[in-house]
Amino acid sequence: MLPTIYLNSQQIGLKHYCFASFKYNTFIYQKFRSLENCQWDKNARAFRFDEELLSVDELYEHFKGFANFSTSKEIIPSVESEKDRLRPADFLEPLTQEAAAAIHEFRNYLFTRRYSENTVKTYTDTLSIFFRYFATKKIDAIENEDLIQFNVQYILKNGFSSSYQNQVVNALKLFYSFRNTVHLDVELIDRPKSCYTLPIVLSLEEVERLLNGCTNLKHRCMLVLIYSCGLRRSELLKLRIRDIDSQRMVIHLHAAKGQKDRIVPLSPTTLSILRNYFKAYRPNVFLFNGDDGGKYSPTSLQNVFRKAVRKARITKKCTLHTLRHSYATHLMESGINLRYIQELLGHSSPKTTQIYTHVTSEDSRKIESPIEKININI
């Protein structure tokens, strides 16, 4: 039996919105999240969309064969928020002492290999889930067939992404190579077929609205730096005052992704905003301090971006990393060489940078559709 999605309309200000509620279902939830013009409404605890941007017919088509729809006046269940709902991992057995000790040893190994804190946390968290799933089995007795079972019964059944599945593969390959186990052959672990998705990119006008609409000087300065230099979130938060070289007009990024240093150009506009920020806030050590004097919180920075997106009325489904994608795309549209963009972004392979050739619009605008060569009634 297919799940039911309940629709109802509501006026907010001068606009009419449609709200979609359903009894929680991981697959349906992810299907809603994939819709570009559909947003989670925290207060209504339902998905909300403007019918001018996303019609009900389009919604029906998106869920065709996956769900039924109802517009009756019956009581509509609210969708649990991500914070409140139970996750699949909540139903797993606790981590055994053997697994906990092995993960702790593996964590130390990763730190000695100079893996970043984020990578260490990602791998150890992933292994924790995996070993909790096989709590009744010794970790060195796990075989390749067990991984197939985990993929089918945990990852696919709960609607997790192929990127998460690939994350599991990475963690297990490294962990069992480190342990030199004989039961699980890391060379036989298959990766999921990768999905080819293009990055979301903001237009220059959208970036301008977003940055100008951010009235808090500190918040605006952080977003300006990310866009103007194509920084990753972690690179921005690790910046120290000494990394800004106003004489050479560059920023020195230390131990960025892959433990690589790189230099990025500092524009005059960005330097002016930085100077205004520095005079007003007088940061210590880190360029952007948190409340405790340490590094600014990644979650707080993400919230700053979300607030700026809402204020700028940008409907694209974007994240903080979208500013970096936009920076690279706008450089390419300006005619900057792909190799130079690769160095600015800190990509180890040109293949990673080449994705931006598929989202640039300048060349595509020059292509004339064949329909322009025929007479057609308009």
Residue of 107, 132, 232, 307 marked catalytic:
232
Angle at 76 between CA 70 and CA 81, to 5 degrees: 115
176 part of the active site: no
Contact present, 16 and 9 (Cβ < 8 Å): yes
Give the integer Cα–Cα distance in Å for 378 and 214.
43
Q: Is 254 a residue of the active site?
A: no
Residues near 4 by beta carbon (within 8 Å), at least 6 away in sequence: 22, 23, 67, 68, 69, 70
Residue 19 · residue 46 · CB < 8 Å: yes
Dihedral sign of CA atoms 172, 174, 177, 179 in order: negative
CB atoms within 10 A of CB 16: 12
Question: Do residues 305 and 320 make contact, with C-beta atoms less than 8 angstroms apart?
Answer: yes
Q: Is 7 exposed, middle or buried (0-12, 13-18, 19+ CB in 10 A)?
A: buried
Catalytic residue from among 6, 115, 176, 356: 356
Selected catalytic residue, list 220, 324, 325, 330: 324
In the chain, which ranges are continuous DSSP H helix? 26-33, 56-62, 97-112, 117-133, 144-150, 162-179, 204-212, 217-229, 233-237, 268-281, 298-311, 321-333, 338-345, 350-353, 362-365
49 in Cβ contact with 62 (< 8 Å): no
| Residue 75 · residue 61 · CB < 8 Å | no
Could you tell me which residues are beta bridge partners of residue 9? 18
Q: Is-catalytic flag, 15?
A: no
- 347 has catalytic annotation: yes
SS3 33: helix
Q: Is 257 a catalytic residue?
A: yes
Select which of 137, 179, 257, 317 is catalytic: 257
What is the strand order of the sheet 244-245 is part of? 244-245, 250-256, 260-265
Q: Which of 323, 321, 300 is nearest to 206 (CA)?
A: 323
**Residue 359 and residue 201 in contact, taking contact as beta carbons nearer than 8 Å:** yes
Q: Which residues are catalytic?
A: 232, 257, 321, 324, 347, 356
